[in-house]
Amino acid sequence: MRLYLTIIMRSLLYVSLGIMVYNSVRVEQQFELLGRGYIDGFSVNIDNMVGHIFIGITIILVIMNVIHLLFMGKNKQAKMEDYILPEYDASDERSVEITGKAVRFAFAFILLYSFLILGSYMFIPNYFLDYVWYPMFTTASIPIVGLIFYLISFKVLYSR
């Protein structure tokens, strides 16, 4: 359950950050379109909700990590990796090995996915002004897809 919660919170953090950055870039895009004469004017609606969600998720993640740090501090056999990764249980020796394998699988998948996503940018260079959301959200999807692949590989390896 802790693994699911951590993955969901981290993914929501990237999504909210992507939306915050998109809103900022969208305003810049409208100014660029206005400067080039493509549009006569535009209106901006500033909403702080996404920023509040981002701050809330960040605070929850920090609190979760501090609580995990306190619990790991009581374990005399815990190593530094036990403090850094809240996903695995330091008391389960098999979990340490499974986490290592899952991280390696996720890293390999992130490398492949990043190559494909960044390669897809060459198909839309002339349209970045019109489709500013594409590079923004595909770049934000890289860590999210890595986290999801980590979750799946961890659960598959753990069920063996």
Share of the chain above pLDDT 90, in %: 16
CA distance 144 to 13: 9
Look at residue 79 in the predicted model and tell me its pLDDT.
62
Backbone angles phi, psi at 120, to 5 degrees: -70, -15
Tell me the pLDDT tens digit for each residue of 1-54: 677 877 888 888 888 888 888 888 888 888 888 888 888 988 887 778 878 888
Query: Looking at residues 134-147, what average pLDDT do you find?
Result: 88
Which of 77-81, 121-125, 132-136 is the least confident region?
Answer: 77-81
Look at residue 143 in the predicted model and tell me its pLDDT.
92
What's at 145, amino acid-wise?
V
Task: Please give the mean pLDDT across all residues of the chain.
Answer: 80
Backbone angles phi, psi at 89, to 5 degrees: -90, 120
Look at residue 145 in the predicted model and tell me its pLDDT.
94
Query: Looking at residues 113-140, what average pLDDT do you find?
Result: 80
Closest CA to 61 of 17, 96, 21: 17
Q: How far is CA 48 from the centre of its chain?
A: 20
Look at residue 33 in the predicted model and tell me its pLDDT.
83
Q: Domain extents for the chain?
A: 2-159
Look at residue 85 in the predicted model and tell me its pLDDT.
58
Look at residue 45 in the predicted model and tell me its pLDDT.
79
